[in-house]
């Protein structure tokens, strides 16, 4: 209700500011006797961690997660799982010049309006640092999914557009995704992006992007019509990530241009006697329920407003000022959104999996 | 939790199937002493009502809403408002041929998988008929907003694209929206759409569309970071509407192509001493909080799969069949999504308005 | 969140005032394919119905419940179940004298303070009439429990004390409960109560009582430590019933006088190899979880303040007045609390049953 | 939903086991700009802290709480407040003998049944250690109440019965409460209890008790009829505390013996023109809403089952065994329930205060 929690049955609640002593979360609703250790979470945090190449913010944090509760002798006990990451590289000085002036396009000004106070150090609660706890919770969710769903659920993401440069989906190669700093599924596009983003970075500018996340082997029937449709909850999950401005499922906005004939995914009987879909315009969700096809969604990520170019703004006293940001920053925050979006997909599916179990007939 | 309610403090819970005896809802959290009568809701229901022209389903229902509780002598009492609409035109026969075969692209098949049973009459719970209660609840939300926000909140929607035919936003004229059957803000486009949609309709086909909804005079600071960001809740609200496949706020997917310089909305001091934004790429929301600028969002609506053209599918016994739909249908369901999206905007804002009041400093 | 709903997974939301056109509720979370018809609910409503003898209010309502949704061909469909009871005997005139003066001990005055308005007809939302919907929802919950729990869950209540006159628990006979107007498990006590209550009734006075509710064959492990302990949720459920002022589980307040030796329920191995408890001081709940023993709780019900004797009070303008109530009233509202408490027990157990299924290992 | 959180708008979520590395919680919904520092919480934790005299468990923990987020320069920021207490005195060896055998009357056996696993060290999640976080959250709640309610809300508790020995309420002296190890409001009774409890302690036994908590200067109208009545939420809050078996408000169970004449609190006009109640049988709550009178409630606390006397039980393999507990224990856990019950009162009132603000007219 206060906006720091996500999910209903599988639920996590986060706290922490960018430059406070620590960030953390409580993960509730994890069934008992699921194998879990810190390394299961660290692997995902390491993917998200900034400072690994010149295309993400140079903040260097080990982001070492500790499990404080809820696990006994390597198994979950059904009690809440407390997770903590201490902040080690806080360099508050870097942001001193923005303590009393508002970066256009940031949450600074509107936080000040709403709360009458804000922690200006590194963006405080509005910092992308908060997403580390999403990734940690997502790691728990993956363990839940992999334990409860036969064969496990395969969740993976990629960046499919940087600025105006979209990939050609026909060239998609998942193996390539891990082989470049952009999670780009097309090696040639990745090379072009590298040159393009170097230009952006050297200019002190920034650029947006589009991320695609997919989930395979999702059980049929996850989701709760009418208001908690699986796609509705996924849309909320993705739009809650910093800088996301749009979400689409399956054909998405392109569905507006389709006829009913082209949009409906026809069915034949599959080799196992069940339904075999002949296309996936729906992106794996119909009527708010998972169909068993791959869930496919995309999110649009805006460019960060922490740029070198001076922009017109106000200071805390209402004076007109110019603002430029000299601290560490990401030329394309969409890159780091990939593991975060994967994590939110995992958490949403884990929550709906538990909800489905409750009413299973 | 079971998916039939929307909102937290301003909250409505709906029930009812397309061809059952009635649909209804309970609206909770309405502050006391707000003027409210049935006519306040009926006006919005009349806008949504099908069968008003040849471009929406020919189902004819008066959709007369009754207030069963929560209002005394023309004022709300702070107790829950029960709303009921009796179903009068149910013609179940029309749908007889789809009782045992699944329309591709509909919720039929997946409901059957999840629940092992479904009410096949007119789409049951998955029918767009359910959206009537959203519109009724939205009418209550509008009264809340207009009473509690000085000057009221102005919520309005329009259809901005039909199939491949998008309007030119520079020609936008709100006065035109009410003057054509498509809520189209451009009279010339509306005329072209009419011809285009007649072709679709006569062919027994259907087409998608894009709807834009705006809210003006929204108080600054609505929204709850991090997971209940105002845009996250709006995304969920819109994606929960039948047939919606994408949602974007402000620049939306186009933000992916923008640089930080172009995307950030600069600020100057306004005539009232407050902030004056020089652009609105953010669509009125930053950091998950309303900025006071107009909230602008768009949703992509897929074409209905209830079409005359036979499509490959399965029947309830797993046999391969062809399915075509001969009952009443909408050639472009995006049209009727306009008042529904307005209503969901109103409900989301009313909920967050109450949430903001709880912690106002 | 607005106080008109109970439960999380099995959840019902009610609306309606005593003298409005109807009362109703929406029951969510009912698994699909559970047999349900109106008669399943009516049987419980008939038990609660007032006016059946001279010891309950003479208001005469058929209290005929209608199922408006969520059931198809005699089976639940997994969609929300809308229930409606029309109010037929509203006689608002009876209460005319209390429209502008506050009955001491009633909710009248404090509703006026909180909301600045109230529906004074028959107590409005604060009327015991609201409990009819609890009983209807409880009827649905019983169907859920009986379908999902092998052997069904047996829920039954009795009145164990009227004013100062408590029964002797050693004389308890469940067969007697249905054979007297007080749900009293001791025929001799019932006879004495009849004489006692006639005196109270003729004097225009009222008296309190204590109700006991039990649940048998409850699965082991229902409840969610720490804050949603089963006993905590039961306490809330019971205390939410009109006029209830106390709740105790098992030994209850008497546990304060016990030593650890006497209070702990010892265990031996039972004939089925499981645990056999040698006593039930715990009332079937340990650590917030059901143990499989009978759940036993008691609630204290205060006397109604609607009495003939004039009492000192204020009117709506703040003037000092005397108030006496001449309308229909109950000399001992605890009687009618029995079926209501049973219903709340059923709903609480159904909710926790679904919650347990979600995380079952 | 998973049972580790309390409240809706003012909400805290806890984690941690008795002998894990730490316990902690996240407090959400705290309005911005409320003065808060660690000392504000530590003062209440110090009251609860065990090991301060021979009548509470000899576990010695400094229970030093750290604020990890949500406070900037001594003021709350509106973001979630992360709290952490490291466990320092864990002595797992003390409990080694109960790792594989179930203490009768404890949660051990039923946790094992529900989860198939449990952390046996010191009671794990079921330990009273968890209540430290309730007290910390209660400290935050008190700051909220004192800041938002003019004059502050005065919450205080006392122990009014130990075993069979109840105090005489006419001798009540709040000043005495802080002057004896039992929070007893009667010095003579406290002296008698000391002798009595020494006997219990030396015998390795334990005894129950009754605690009373009061809240003064509570605003009129807190609470949300019908299902979230203030007394219903308080009952849940209190019953969720370890070892509590009964809750009563105002006259409580004695209300069952009262006539309507005696039970109704009459009203006269007070010196300020408002209502002046002539008695407080209601315990400050009518119709689920606070009346402005003192809220008065009592809770019954059972004796701990960790006693020296061997009791019949089972081990983890189903064998019949005798169990006695040799570790540190509390001869009367009701003593330590006093500050915990105060904290739960504070949290419940803070939550309803925010809820009331949301719909204030």
User: What pLDDT, in 10s, does the model give residues A260-280?
Assistant: 999 999 999 999 888 999 999
Interface test with C, best of A28, A359, A360 (most C CBs within 10 A): A359
Q: Which among A105, A225, A258 has the least Cβ separation from residue B3?
A: A225
Q: Which of A115-124, C287-296, D56-65 has the lowest mean pLDDT?
A: D56-65
| Residue A57 pLDDT exceeds 70 | no
The whole-chain average pLDDT of chain C stands at 93
Please write the tens of the pLDDT for every residue from B260-275. 999 999 999 999 888 9
Judged by CB atoms closer than 8 Å, whether chains meet at A245 and B240 is answered as no
Asked whether the predicted pLDDT for residue A97 surpasses 80, the reply is no
Instruction: Supply the pLDDT for residue D276.
Output: 96
Report whether D1 contacts D31 (CB < 8 A).
no
What's the pLDDT score for residue A361? 74
Per-residue pLDDT of C109-157, as tens digits, reads: 999 999 999 998 888 999 999 999 999 999 999 999 999 999 999 999 9
Burial grade of A89 (CB within 10 A; 0-12, 13-18, 19 or more):
middle
- pLDDT number for residue B120: 87
C-alpha A237/C-alpha A211 separation (Å) is 14
More confident residue, A97 or C30: C30
Residue in chain B lying closest to C7 (CA): B1
- Going by pLDDT thresholds of 50, 70 and 90, the confidence category of residue B25 is very high
- Interface B–D counts its CB contacts (< 8 A) at 44
- pLDDT tier for residue C361 given thresholds of 50, 70 and 90: confident
Q: Which of B8, B31, B360 sits opposite D359 (nearest CB)?
A: B31
Q: Which residues pair with A84 in a beta bridge?
A: A24, A66
pLDDT at residue A58 in the model = 61
Q: Does A61 have pLDDT greater than 80?
A: no
pLDDT in tens, C184-232: 999 999 999 999 999 999 999 999 999 999 999 999 999 999 999 999 9
Q: Burial-class residue A6 by CB neighbours within 10 Å (0-12, 13-18, 19+).
A: buried
DSSP lists the bridge partners of residue C15 as: C24
Q: Among residues C99, C114, C97, C132, which one has the least CA distance to residue C24? A: C132
Contacts of A225 in chain C (CB under 8 A): 79
Among B30-34, B74-78, C303-307, name the one with the lowest average pLDDT.
Answer: C303-307
Mean per-residue pLDDT for A20-38? 97
Determine if residue A287 is labeled as part of a ligand binding site: yes
Report the percent of chain C where pLDDT is more than 70. Answer: 95
At B122 the pLDDT is 82
Which tens digit of pLDDT belongs to each residue from B290-312? 999 999 999 999 999 889 999 99
Q: Which candidate from B240, B281, B307 shows the least CB-CB separation from A226? A: B240
For residue range D114-148, what is the model confidence (pLDDT) as tens digits?
Answer: 999 999 888 899 999 999 999 999 999 999 999 99
Query: Nearest CA to A338 among A7, A48, A42?
Result: A48
Higher local confidence (pLDDT), C109 or C94: C109
**Does the pLDDT of residue C96 top 70, yes or no?**
no
- Contact across the interface for A115 and D32, Cβ inside 8 Å: yes
Chains near D, with 3+ CB pairs < 8 A? A, B, C
Residues of D in contact with B82 (CB under 8 A): none
Interval C228-237 mean pLDDT: 98
List, for residues A244-253, the tens digit of each pLDDT value: 999 999 999 9
Mean pLDDT computed over every residue of chain B: 93
Give the list of residues 6+ apart from residue D210 with CB closer than 8 angstroms, or none. C253, C256, D159, D160, D161, D166, D298, D299, D300, D301, D334
Average pLDDT, integer, range C281-289: 98
Q: What is the 3-state secondary structure (H, E, C) of D281-350?
A: CCCCEECCEECCCCEEEEEEECCCCCCCCCEEEEECCCCEEEECCCCCCCCCCHHHHHHHHHHHHHHHHH
pLDDT, tens digit, for every residue of B225-246? 999 999 999 999 999 999 999 9
Substitution target in A16, A65, A69 with the highest count of D β-carbons within 10 Å is: A69
Nearest to C359 among A1, A31, A360 (CB): A31
For residue C31, the model assigns a pLDDT of 98
List chains touching B (3+ CB pairs under 8 A).
A, C, D
CA-to-CA separations, C246 to C241, C242, D281, in angstroms, rounded: 11, 11, 12
Q: Quick one: pLDDT band at residue A94, thresholds 50, 70, 90? A: low
- pLDDT class of B56 with cuts at 50, 70, 90: confident
Q: What is the pLDDT of residues D53-66, one digit of tens each?
A: 777 766 667 789 99
**pLDDT over 70 at A91, yes or no:** no
- pTM beyond 0.95: the answer is yes
pLDDT the model gives residue D99:
78
The whole-number pLDDT of residue C80 equals: 98
| Interface with D, mutate which of C1, C9, C114, C204 (most D CBs under 10 A) | C114
Higher pLDDT, C93 or D141: D141
Interface probe, candidates C9, C24, C69, chain B, greatest B C-beta count within 10 A: C69
Please give the residue that has the higher pLDDT: either B226 or C47. B226
With the C-alpha atoms ordered C28, C29, C35, C39, is the resulting torsion angle positive or negative? negative
Cβ(B307)–Cβ(B297) below 8 Å: no
Could you give the CA distance from residue D213 to residue D342 in angstroms, rounded to a whole number?
A: 6
Are the beta carbons of C82 and B15 separated by less than 8 Å?
yes
The minimum CA-CA distance between B75 and chain D, rounded to whole Å, is 12
Contacts of B148 in chain D (CB under 8 A): none
Cα–Cα dist C196/C207, whole Å: 10
Q: Is the pLDDT of residue B94 over 60?
A: no
pLDDT given for residue B166 in this prediction: 98
Q: Which of B78, B359, B360 sits opposite D359 (nearest CB)?
A: B78
Closest CA to D16 of A16, C228, A70: A70
Give the ipTM.
0.97
Positions in chain D whose pLDDT score sits under 50? none
Q: Residue A216's Cα: distance from chain center in Å? A: 17
Report pLDDT for C54.
74
Q: Residue C59 above 90 pLDDT?
A: no
Calculate mean pLDDT across residues A147-162.
98
pLDDT higher than 60, residue A92: no
- Locate the chain C residue with the closest alpha carbon to B87: C68
Cα B228 from Cα B149, distance rounded (Å): 21
pLDDT reported for residue B325 = 82
- What SS3 class is residue B183? coil
Subunits in contact with chain C (3 or more CB pairs closer than 8 Å): A, B, D
């Amino acid at each position: 209700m206060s906006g720091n929690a996500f999910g209903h049955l599988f639920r996590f609640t986060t706290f922490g500011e960018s430059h406070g002593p620590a960030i953390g979360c409580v993960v509730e609703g994890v069934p008992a006797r699921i194998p879990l250790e810190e390394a299961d979470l660290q692997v995902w945090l390491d993917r998200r961690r900034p400072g690994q190449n010149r295309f993400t913010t140079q903040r260097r944090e080990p982001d070492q997660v500790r499990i404080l509760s809820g696990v006994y002798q390597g198994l979950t006990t059904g009690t809440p799982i407390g997770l903590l990451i201490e902040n080690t590289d806080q360099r508050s000085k870097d942001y001193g010049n923005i303590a009393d002036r508002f970066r256009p396009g940031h949450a600074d000004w509107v936080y000040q309006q709403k709360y009458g106070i804000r922690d200006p150090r590194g963006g405080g609660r509005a910092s992308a640092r908060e997403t580390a706890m999403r990734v940690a919770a997502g790691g728990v969710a993956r363990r839940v999914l992999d334990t409860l769903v036969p064969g496990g659920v395969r969740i993976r993401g990629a960046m499919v557009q940087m600025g105006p440069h979209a990939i050609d989906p026909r060239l998609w190669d998942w193996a390539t995704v891990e082989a470049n700093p952009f999670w780009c599924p097309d090696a040639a596009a990745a090379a072009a992006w590298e040159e393009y983003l170097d230009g952006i970075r050297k200019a002190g500018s920034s650029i947006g992007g589009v991320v695609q996340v997919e989930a395979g082997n999702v059980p049929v029937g996850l989701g709760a019509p009418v208001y908690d449709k699986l796609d509705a909850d996924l849309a909320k999950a993705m739009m809650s990530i910093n800088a996301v401005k749009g979400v689409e499922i399956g054909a998405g906005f392109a569905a507006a241009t389709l006829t009913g004939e082209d949009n409906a995914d026809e069915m034949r009987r599959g080799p196992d006697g069940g339904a075999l879909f002949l296309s996936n315009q729906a992106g794996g969700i119909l009527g708010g329920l998972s169909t068993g096809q791959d869930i496919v969604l995309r999110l649009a990520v805006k460019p960060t407003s922490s740029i070198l170019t001076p922009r017109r703004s106000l200071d805390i006293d209402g004076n007109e000022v110019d603002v430029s940001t000299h601290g560490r920053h990401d030329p394309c925050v969409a890159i780091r959104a990939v593991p975060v979006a994967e994590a939110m997909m995992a958490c949403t599916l884990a929550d709906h999996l538990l909800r489905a179990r409750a009413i299973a007939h």
